[in-house]
Structure 1
Amino acid sequence: MAVASPSLRQRARWRGIVAALTAGILAVAPAARAEPRPTVKQLRKDLAALLKESDKLITDYYNSRIAHQKAEKAEKSAREKLATAQEVYDQNSTELKAMAVAQYTGTEPSQVAMLAGTQDPAALLGRMALVQHLVALQDARLSGYAKVRDDRQRAQDEAAARAGELDQTVGELEERKKKAERQIERVRDKIDQLHQAPGLRPDGTFVPQLPQGPDHITPRMALVKQLIQERFEVPYGIGCYREIQDGGEHPLGRACDFMLSRGGAMPSAEELKRGDQIAAWAIKNAKRLGIMYIIYRQRIWHVRTGAWRTMSDRGGTTANHYDHPHISVY
């Protein structure tokens, strides 16, 4: 019996190993992989699509506003026409009623009475002409009344139709406005996701930063300030660095106050709402942007607890942070 050479035996052994490995790989289901985090390129692509859709919604909203304004004008015109028609209708009704009452009570000379009592042919013909004139006048009044009555009805129908159109456009306008606002909010969220706080370590903590630039704040605080300015606007100013060593983050360049009024005055309801929106945005983006805590309306929110806590009364609108949200970063 022939003996296989060592090289043949070795190739056969390798073929067996490969076959076993292949069978094992095919028998084992592949492990589920975590979804990869979206890249900046993908986020920018998504953002471009959202902006395009947002522009379309804003255009629809604008067109709805134009349609609403046209419906308002048409409804106003219809009401004015109806008021005019009603006035003419009432006047004609009064005159017609007076004529009917006069004929019924005999206060107007009847046609027969006017023709009787004269033998003069010329006078008789004159009176007959007068009677015909009165009859024609009554017919004209009746015919005119019918037209006035029909005009009034048409004006009434048109006013009702325009009012219905106005109600419909108001509803459509509100719905399109809400859609546009929701889409704009999604666009803004996508923009936020394009930014990551500088100095983030792999374990989720942040590298300490020194203040820099003319406003003496850290790059992390500068990013938060920039994003809030772009998203909300802050018409009453933003105060960040100050030299007073009060144990807070302002002297370290790690805090900013986003003012909602001037001179310590209580902000308007609209500005208080703006403050709520800024605080909510800061909470939503706290971990990604390195926000440590927020103070607003005599309350403090810390990223470690994730909840608001009431603070003691410090004796004033500004001291109690009613006129500004305060944001500190790591």
Structure 2
Amino acid sequence: MSTRRRLGAMIAVMVASVLFAPASSGRAVPSQPTDPGEELDRLDRQADDLARQYRGELHELTDGIQAARRAAREVREVEGKQAAARARLAELAAARYKSGRIDPVIMLATSDDPRVVLDQAATAEHLARNDQDRLREMQSLMEARRRAQQEAQARVTETRRLVARLEAKKDKVAELIEKYEAEEAAREEREAQSSGSSGYTPTPHAKSPVIGGGSSITPRMQDVLTEVDQRFGPFSSIGCYRATNDGGEHPLGRACDFMLSTGGSMPSSENVDHGWAVANWARDNADRLGVMYIIYRQQIWDVRSGGGWRAMEDRGSITANHYDHVHISVF
């Protein structure tokens, strides 16, 4: 092998090794976890523990953890694409060096800053269009990775803050639970004395068709159902108890959905306003009724996290996002 070819082969190996190595820019870059899975597992355990203490699903918290996991998956996907693109560039650069050509594609090996790559590469007049496309692809992946990392970290930080806020309110929530449990016990005692039975008979003459009502729901939920129906009914239907254990209050008999349309269709503007009237009335009377949280139009109001309407993650459909009904859960 000639001296030139041996030198070319050595350079090719060096170029490939540099391209495959983690790239770094001349500027300091804040350290960010590319996969916050371990912390999310810990937050998951905290969420389960808080849900047990708070006597019901914490939608804001589970939403936050799921969103953070999606962002972490996106980081991994982008990193995989970036590794594949870097490998293609390594092959190209190695081939160019073997042939004795110096190619600006090597610039990608020494910079992880997507904003400077094209500026530097554009000064090389001999860069072919195909090479420009490869550089643009790499720049795009660098930027996508940066955005995905920022999103993942922001989601984890937001979830961590929510956990801290919920932890700080545990004593207050415990007082609410104790208050409503005492009310339930006193009510059962009164009914037992007046009827000779501790059983509960729901109020008849509902304005709306009720699915999963009656003895399948708690007395408190029945009170809320009856009052909402009498004030705002009729609804297309009211769905309460269902056996499917989805982590919420429906299988516990502590939740009802007040439907504003049928067949998963978007309600009319008039019914949308009607839904807000129901949701805001339930919020304003939450203390008297024992309302734990309300969900409507992809927003949640939860007394346990301090109240205030907060946006929820997209669940993928009109019904799943609560656009066609008002959900009310009670303690």
> Do Structure 1 and Structure 2 share a fold, with TM-score over 0.5?
no
TM-score (norm: length of structure 2): 0.37
Flag the structure with larger Rg: 1
TM-score (norm: length of structure 1): 0.37
